[in-house]
Structure formats: structure tokens, C-alpha cells
Structure 1
Amino acid sequence: MAIDRIDVNVTSPGRNFVTVKVTTSEGVTGLGDGTLNGRELAVVSYLRDHVVPTLIGRDESQIESIWQYLYRSPYWRRGPVTMAAVAAIDMALWDIAAKKAGEPLYKLLGGASRTGLLTYAHASGTTIDALNDAIRGYVDQGFQAVRIQSGVPGLGQIYGVHDAAPGGKYEYEPAGRVEARSGTGPAAGPEAGSAAGAAMRPSEETWETAAYLRHLPTVFAAVREEFGPALHLLHDGHHRMRPIEAAKLAKSLEPYDPFWLEDCTPGEDQAVLRLVRQHSVTPLAIGEVFNSIHDYQQLITERLIDYVRSSATHAGGITGLRQIMAFAAVYGIRSGFHGPTDVSPVGMAANLHLGLAIHNFGIQEYMPHSETTLSVFRTSYRFADGMLHPGEAPGLGVELDEEAAAGYEYQPAYLPVNRLRDGTVHDW
């Protein structure tokens, strides 16, 4: 038994994905997600140039040992590029282990701790009426929880806020496809070494925190009036607030019983959440930009958060995310795993298998992938009555159609930049 081959697949069926396929000497294959939105090719290079050559011939069953080897041995630890690469290998090895056992992965992680995973959808609208229409559509589908994001009067496009398309279909793709506007070099592709000379700039949005703080409580009030107290309401602040602003917002939302306020301040300075805690009992979630257990140390030991927001894709895979949740369990902190469409269906399946197995599960973010994406990634997880389940197929339960994937070439795409009205670059 040994790792015989590792392929790194870059495909763009609607958006860019990085998928690792590990093949053993016995011909068993496993998939892993290494997608890092807007920095995909950095992970591809890290994998192809620095990880893959070191793993050929190793025993694929030594998952923990290989994880520690990839984490500790390079000396340069952590960081999103490194941990996405580690995650891709780790998921693939777990996928292989479960396939060899003939069981869905969650059974190798301790078995099911629940019958399904409470799930929340993304509802947004440029106006409150449009937002309520979006929420109603999700409630009709059986969702018991929704993240609500709204346009702010006086501001233009805001990240994460879009109206539903005709027919009620909600397409969400915040990463803009860009083209070279000047220069002599071509846009970078998976095999390109440089894009020197190509001008590829992300879109820019304008932000004003004071207007947002005035408007958002009225949004929550309108949604509660329309849908009542039972629907779980979540909101993402997207790191835009200073500590005192976050404390003010958390306090002002208390009458509307939010399920959580997410990413109210930038994640780097964890101590600032003490101020938010002092002023409000609104539950806090943070961590989708974190990638190791060490990023959470102060947040967990001081109980400054209520939900862990990392994904298996960005936190070192199933092994890395399970470390975080075991630590969090000691302090009564639950999961709220990141599940956007820039986590591939492979990464989503990894979240679901782990979420089904751990005791301290909280809620799972669910943004359904497009039909185009699902024509390349064949999934077995299922949604019903507001709950997700990873399914009973052996392994992760996701298969990559490599022939279909080859028809979708990589395209540069970047998340937007946020600026204040005076042009200052701001957190988003």
C-alpha cells in the first residue's frame, strides 16, 4: 500500500476550483479540495512543486503522520496557502481510507451524532422588500435559518448583497472575472509562470459604517415582523467594524434575537472581542479566514466566540478542523463551518461528514453550487427540511468528472476591494 500518483486539477465550471486526486498502488483514489478564492494558483504551485514530490511512495493510511509531516516539516507553518494544500491531501487520504472500508467517511470519524445538520441559506436584497422575498423563497424550501444581508441606502454595490434573479433563483458569485486591460503579458493560467505586464484589477466598492449601523437594526426589525420569532436569523459583518462599532451593533440587534453576528471585527486582533462581549449577549461567530487551531487559542480559552467558522478546505482538512473542534468542545463552543460556493463540493462534503460526527455541531452554511459546477463534481449529499446529510456513499461521496472538468479552463477572478468614501482602503 502506497501513494502512487497525485494529480492537481484546476477547473472553472462557473468558478475556479483546485482538486487533488491521490491514487494508491492498489488503484484506489481519493479527492481533496485546495481551493483558495483569488489565490488558486499559489496553492497549485505549492502542491505540485513542494508537496507532491515528497509524498510518492508513502503509506496512504498514515493520515495523522502525513498531516504532521506536511505541517511541521517545512518550517514555514500555517497560512492560507500552506493549509489549503495540506487540506487537499488530508481530505483525499480520508476519502481513500473510507472507500477502502466501504463506508461513508463519517463512520470512520466516530459515527453519526445526529440525523442531519441544521443548515442556513444566504438571503439578501438591495431593499428590505427584496430581502423578504428572498427569505420567503428559502422558507418555502424548508430552511429554518437564513443569513440576512441588505443594501444600505446611499451606498452602491455591497459585497454579498444581490437580488434574486427572475424566477426566484439566487446566483451568488462575488469573485469578478477579470481580463487584462493593458500590458503585453497574457493572463496567467495553470501552467503560466508569470502574468507580468497584465493589468487585472478587482472591482471596488464604497463603504460607510455609520450608515450601515443606522440601517441594519431596521432590517432585522422588518424581517422579524414579517417572519416571526422562530426563524433563525444570522448576519455577517465581514470584518468592517472597529471594536466599539461592533459592540454598538451587537447591542442594537439584541431585541431581534440573532442566531449570531459573524466577523464583526477583523480577525487578527482577538482581544477586541472582549469589548463586544462586555456590551452584548449577541452570539458571535468568527474564523472563516483562520487556518489553524492556534488562530483560535485566545478566542476559545476566553470564550470570546460561540461558533467556529473555519472550513475543512482552509483549516488543514478534516484532521486540522477536527483538532479545532475538539479544543472548542472543552469550552462549550460549537461549529458553524464555512460553506460558500468557493469551497468545492469536495470540501463541502468534508464539512458535512465531520459535522455529522462531532458532538459540538452548531449549524452548517449551505450555498448550493451551480448546475455547471455539479456537472463536474457529482455529489451524494442531500438536503431536506432545512437539514443536510452527507449521504451513504463510501468515502466523501463526491466524484470528479475529469473529462467534463477539462472543458472549463482556469479564469482569473478576484474578490472586490472595499474603500471608504474618501478612498481609504477598508476591511470587507
Structure 2
Amino acid sequence: MKIEHIKVLVSRPSRNFVTLKIITDSGIYGLGDATVNGREMAVVAYLKEHVVPCLLGRDPHQIEDIWQYLYKGAYWRRGPITMAAIAAVDMALWDIKGKIAGLPVYQLLGGKSRKGITAYAHANGATIDETLENLGKFIKQGFKAVRLQCAIPGLEDTYGTLGKKKDYFELQSDRPLPPEQLWSTSKYMNFITELFKQARAEYGYDIQLVHDVHSRLTPIESAQLGKLLEPYKLMFLEDASPADNQDGYQIIRNHTTTPLAIGEIFNTVWDAKDLITNQTIDYLRIAATHGGGITPLKKISDFAAMYNIRMAPHGAPDLSPICHAAHAHFNIWAPNFGVQEFIGFGTEALNKVFSHPLSFDNGYILLEDKPGLGVDYNEEEALKYEYKRSYLPVTRLEDGTLWYW
């Protein structure tokens, strides 16, 4: 069996998605997600110009060798564009192998470690009352864990709280440039603990709570926040600080017992190596699409397990259903799985383009047994949704200084 043809497909059935379709000479094909939000066409060019020509004629069964070839063989390693391209190939090859074997991918990884995949929802709000109302709704739906985000008084826009806007496209409808948002650490720090104080007072401690700082604090500020949140027993504090300097998390760890999670912008194990070996985090959130695919994710998981770190893959809406399915197969297998971020199953348009094997019941994502990843892509339907350039916002401090979004 050989790789005969490869398609790089771009569509916007809600967000922009880059899909790789690898077709073998037997007609069996596999799908992979190559989406990098705001840099989609960079990955398209990387795939078309530099990856696809190298794969034609190769044996699709050789997943490990092809992964190493694309990673080591390029010399210019790592980075989100390279790793998303490799990830798409890797997912597609696992998809093909599963279809040939007549087995879902998780069986090829080693089989199930659990019945269902614990998921956490996003309860957002313009006020604390609105956020807590949404928290109550998710608890009634059966969620065992919920992330809380609330607009900060005095700031026009706050991460995770878009109000009536459905996505970031609406924030830049007048021009295809990144929208800008203001940030104030002091306003945030003086407010955010009240959200969790009221959440615990109203709903108790049976529900697991999560909060995403989105890398807006320095390590010592994160340490202070973690200490302030200790009475409310968070499941984890996500992206408290950037981890470009992994040693910074030692400062946070030295001052708080609030569990820490990070990794959604990580691309390889090297981004997390010191965090893992020094045990300065509790959950690793690297995504299959941005971390090179299923092959490295399995290795990273085994490495993290040696240090009692759990996997909690990123689950944003800018990852396609192919990636969400890859995560489901990985999560149902991973012995050290922790929790999966869950944003629902998308819009009607998205579900017309992508069919998937996932469902939700009483707090758990369930995975239907289908060969491969279990996802399909309707190319004809996808043509209805043309690519539109779009970016995530950028953040500035109130004095105009550019800050982390």
C-alpha cells in the first residue's frame, strides 16, 4: 500500500479549519487537523510546498518513521506551523491504520482505561450572577467540572466573556486586523476571588472548578493568586503565567498548593520537560494538533505519568472535530488522563462539514466505536464556506503597553 494523493482543504463552517486528507492507492483515506488559528495559510503553504511532495509513494503504515522523517529530516524543527503540519499527517495515518485494521484508534494505542471521558464546560458571564447562573445550568446537565470566567469591572472586554458575540470574527468585521483588548492586573486581582467565593457558597465543593488566567500574570502575581484561591479548592489554575522560562513555575509552586495546568501553546515535549521533571505543574494541556499528533502525545503522556502529572488536552473551538476525536481516542486510553476541555459539538454548519463519533452524557464525552478516528469530511459542503482571514485579539495594558493575550 502506498500514499497516492494528498489534499489540503480549507473551509470556514464557523472558524477557519485546515484539513489534510491522505488517500492511499487502495482508496482508503485518513484525515488530520492542521489548524493554527490566525496563521492557517502558513500551515497550508508548509504542507503543500514542503510536506506533501515528500510523502507521495510512501507506505502509510510507517507512522513512526514518517513522523521522525518530518521532524528530524527538516532540520528546522519545532514551532506551531511545523508541528501542526506533522500532526495532520500523523492523525491521518493513524486514521488509515485503524480503518485497515477495522479498529478504533484507541484500540491500537492499548485499549480503554475508562468508560467515559470527564469533560469540563465553560461558564462565562458579564457579571458574577450571570456566571453562577450558567454554572448551575451545567451542573444540571451533569458536568462534574466547570471553568468559571467573568468580565472584570472597569474593563470593556475580558477573555472568555464575549457577551452576545459568538466568535472573534465579529470583533473584526470592519477590518481584517486583530481586535485589541485592555488588561489591568490590579482590577483583576481585586475582583476574581469573589467569583469563586460566591460559587462555593452557592454550589458547595462537590463540583470541580477551573479558572483560566490566560498567561496574564507574572510568576509572583500567579503565586499570589493561587494562594488567594486556595480556600476554594480549584481543580486547577490554567495558564497562570507564560512558561517560556519554565523556571518561573517554580516560583508559583513555592508559594501555593493550588494545582497548576499549562500547555495549550506547547509544540513538543521540550516545552514541558522541566515543568514535568521538576513537578511544578499538575496537568499538561498540550493538544494533538499543535503538539505533533497522536504519536508524540502518547510518549509525552507516558513521560508525564512518571511524575504524577495528568493530561488535560486543549479543547478550543479553533481545533477541528478531527482533533477533538483524536483527543477522545487518546483520553479513553491514557492511564494518566485528567479532564478534557469541552465546548460542545459546534454549529450546524460545522456538523454538516465534519461528522464525528462523539456524544455527551452526564458529564462524560462518549466515543462511538468506528474504525480509525471515526470522523468524515464533506468536501462538497465545505466549499460553501470560504476562508476568511481572522486573528485572535491582542492585549494592551491601560497605558498602552502590549501584553499577553
Judge same fold: TM > 0.5, yes or no: yes
CA separation in 1, counterparts of 2:326 and 2:171? 27
Q: Secondary structure at the match of 2:272?
A: helix
Q: 2:359 aligns with which of 363, 382, 386?
A: 382
Q: Residue 58 of structure 1 corresponds to which residue in structure 2?
A: 58
- Residues 177 and 411 in structure 1, CA contact (< 8 A), matched pair in contact too: no
Q: 2:330 aligns with which of 348, 354, 357?
A: 354
CA separation in 2, counterparts of 1:78 and 1:405? 30
Q: Secondary structure at the match of 2:247?
A: helix
Q: 1:408 aligns with which of 385, 394, 401?
A: 385
2:19 counterpart letter in structure 1? T
- Residues 20 and 33 in structure 1, CA contact (< 8 A), matched pair in contact too: yes
CA separation in 2, counterparts of 1:331 and 1:348? 26
What runs of 5+ residues in structure 1 fail to find an aligned partner? 166-170, 182-199
CA separation in 2, counterparts of 1:238 and 1:121? 16
Q: Residue 265 of structure 1 corresponds to which residue in structure 2?
A: 241
CA displacement at 1:389 relative to structure 2: 2.1
Q: 2:177 aligned with 1:201, yes or no?
A: yes
CA separation in 1, counterparts of 2:243 and 2:81? 17
Q: Residue 241 of structure 1 corresponds to which residue in structure 2?
A: 217
What runs of 5+ residues in structure 2 fail to find an aligned partner? none
Q: Residue 120 of structure 1 corresponds to which residue in structure 2?
A: 120
Q: 2:26 aligned with 1:32, yes or no?
A: no
2:369 counterpart letter in structure 1? E
Q: 2:214 aligned with 1:220, yes or no?
A: no
2:348 counterpart letter in structure 1? E
- Residues 357 and 369 in structure 2, CA contact (< 8 A), matched pair in contact too: yes
- Residues 176 and 414 in structure 1, CA contact (< 8 A), matched pair in contact too: no
Q: Residue 173 of structure 1 corresponds to which residue in structure 2?
A: 167
CA offsets 1:73-120 (integer angstroms, 9 cap, x no match): 010000000000000000000000001111111011100000011100
Q: Residue 404 of structure 2 corresponds to which residue in structure 1?
A: 427
CA separation in 2, counterparts of 1:201 and 1:18? 20
CA separation in 2, counterparts of 1:177 and 1:422? 22
CA spacing shift, 1:292–1:176, aligned 2, 3 Å: farther
CA separation in 2, counterparts of 1:345 and 1:296? 25
CA displacement at 1:328 relative to structure 2: 0.3
1:76 counterpart letter in structure 2? W
Matches within 5 A, 1:252-291: 252-291=228-267
Q: Residue 168 of structure 1 corresponds to which residue in structure 2?
A: none
2:385 counterpart letter in structure 1? Y
Q: Residue 187 of structure 1 corresponds to which residue in structure 2?
A: none
Q: 2:88 aligned with 1:88, yes or no?
A: yes
- Residues 202 and 416 in structure 1, CA contact (< 8 A), matched pair in contact too: yes
CA separation in 1, counterparts of 2:57 and 2:166? 41
- Residues 16 and 37 in structure 1, CA contact (< 8 A), matched pair in contact too: yes
CA separation in 2, counterparts of 1:98 and 1:240? 41
CA separation in 1, counterparts of 2:51 and 2:172? 29
Matches within 5 A, 1:104-119: 104-119=104-119
Q: Residue 48 of structure 1 corresponds to which residue in structure 2?
A: 48
CA separation in 2, counterparts of 1:178 and 1:413? 8
Q: Residue 189 of structure 1 corresponds to which residue in structure 2?
A: none
Matches within 5 A, 1:258-337: 258-337=234-313
- Residues 177 and 390 in structure 2, CA contact (< 8 A), matched pair in contact too: no
CA separation in 2, counterparts of 1:65 and 1:250? 43
CA separation in 1, counterparts of 2:104 and 2:291? 22
CA spacing shift, 1:316–1:172, aligned 2, 3 Å: farther
Q: Residue 69 of structure 1 corresponds to which residue in structure 2?
A: 69
CA separation in 2, counterparts of 1:93 and 1:359? 23
CA displacement at 1:178 relative to structure 2: 4.1
CA offsets 1:164-219 (integer angstroms, 9 cap, x no match): x6xxxxx75245574685xxxxxxxxxxxxxxxxxx32110111001101111100
Q: Residue 10 of structure 1 corresponds to which residue in structure 2?
A: 10
CA separation in 1, counterparts of 2:43 and 2:331? 25
CA spacing shift, 1:38–1:306, aligned 2, 3 Å: same
- Residues 254 and 282 in structure 1, CA contact (< 8 A), matched pair in contact too: yes
Q: Residue 133 of structure 1 corresponds to which residue in structure 2?
A: 133
CA separation in 2, counterparts of 1:116 and 1:273? 31
2:78 counterpart letter in structure 1? R
2:347 counterpart letter in structure 1? S
Say which is worse superposed, 104-113 or 386-395, in terms of deviation.
386-395
Q: Residue 363 of structure 1 corresponds to which residue in structure 2?
A: 339
Q: Residue 103 of structure 1 corresponds to which residue in structure 2?
A: 103
CA displacement at 1:162 relative to structure 2: 3.3
CA spacing shift, 1:134–1:180, aligned 2, 3 Å: closer
CA separation in 1, counterparts of 2:61 and 2:22? 12
Q: Secondary structure at the match of 2:44?
A: helix
- Residues 121 and 146 in structure 1, CA contact (< 8 A), matched pair in contact too: yes
- Residues 125 and 131 in structure 2, CA contact (< 8 A), matched pair in contact too: yes
Q: Residue 190 of structure 1 corresponds to which residue in structure 2?
A: none
CA displacement at 1:33 relative to structure 2: 0.3
- Alpha-carbon RMSD across the aligned residues, in angstroms, is 1.2
- Residues 30 and 93 in structure 2, CA contact (< 8 A), matched pair in contact too: yes
Q: Secondary structure at the match of 2:190?
A: helix
